[in-house]
């Protein structure tokens, strides 16, 4: 048996929108064609995507920029919501890992699944009902005191 066997890579899943869970974030330092050979810091995000046939792990890469147009900011909005993703907020890996979202995937020319967009998972009925205030029931108005027999 050979020491190394080349595999087909990440199995492609059809382009679409799927539930996914963040299962890891790892710092990564590397040079890219966009950095002119200079190494820069990135974050590698690992998602467990609930595909139709089987769950698939897909990784995505972001810079460490966190401004409102950054990819990380898109991820934070989906993971913690706009209320918590405020200027000055800080997050540890354990604040984010385990959170469910929806991911939109595309298939690259090489046949690999790639995450295109990430949005917050919809709230379930029970979560929405628990968050909603109880409806106020108004007592019926008292009948006027009159001599009517009914």
For the sheet containing 39-50, what is the strand order? 55-63, 39-50, 16-31, 100-107, 113-120
Supply the pLDDT for residue 6. 76
Tell me the residue ranges of DSSP E strands in 51-126.
55-63, 100-107, 113-120
Supply the pLDDT for residue 37. 79
Q: Residue 132 — pLDDT band, cuts 50, 70, 90? A: very low
For residue range 5-25, list pLDDT tens digits in order.
776 665 578 999 999 999 999
In the structure encoding, which two tokens stand for residue 51, read together? Answer: 């595909």
For residue range 68-80, list pLDDT tens digits in order.
999 999 999 999 9
Supply the pLDDT for residue 1. 74
Closest CA to 16 of 100, 78, 105, 101: 105
What mean pLDDT do residues 17-34 have? 92
Enter the pTM of the model: 0.73
% of the chain beyond a pLDDT of 70? 79
Domains of the chain: 16-122 (2.40.50)
**pLDDT over threshold 90, residue 48:** yes
Integer distance in angstroms from the first to the last C-alpha of the chain? 95
Whole-number Å distance between alpha carbons of 104 and 142? 57
**pLDDT over threshold 90, residue 143:** no
**Phi, psi dihedrals of residue 58, rounded to the nearest 5°:** -130, 135
């Amino acid at each position: 048996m050979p020491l190394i066997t080349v595999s087909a890579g990440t199995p492609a899943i059809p382009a679409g929108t799927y539930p996914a869970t963040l299962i890891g974030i790892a710092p990564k330092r590397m040079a890219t064609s966009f950095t002119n050979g200079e190494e820069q810091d990135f974050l590698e995000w690992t998602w467990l995507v609930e595909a139709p046939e089987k769950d698939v792990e897909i990784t995505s890469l972001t810079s460490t920029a966190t401004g409102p147009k950054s990819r990380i900011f898109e991820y934070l909005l989906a993971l913690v919501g706009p209320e918590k993703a405020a200027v000055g907020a800080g997050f540890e890996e354990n604040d984010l890992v385990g959170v469910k979202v929806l991911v939109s995937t595309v298939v690259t020319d090489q046949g690999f699944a790639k995450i295109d967009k990430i949005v917050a998972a919809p709230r379930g009925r029970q979560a929405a009902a628990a968050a909603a205030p109880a409806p106020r029931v108004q007592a019926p108005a008292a009948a006027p005191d009159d001599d009517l027999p009914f």
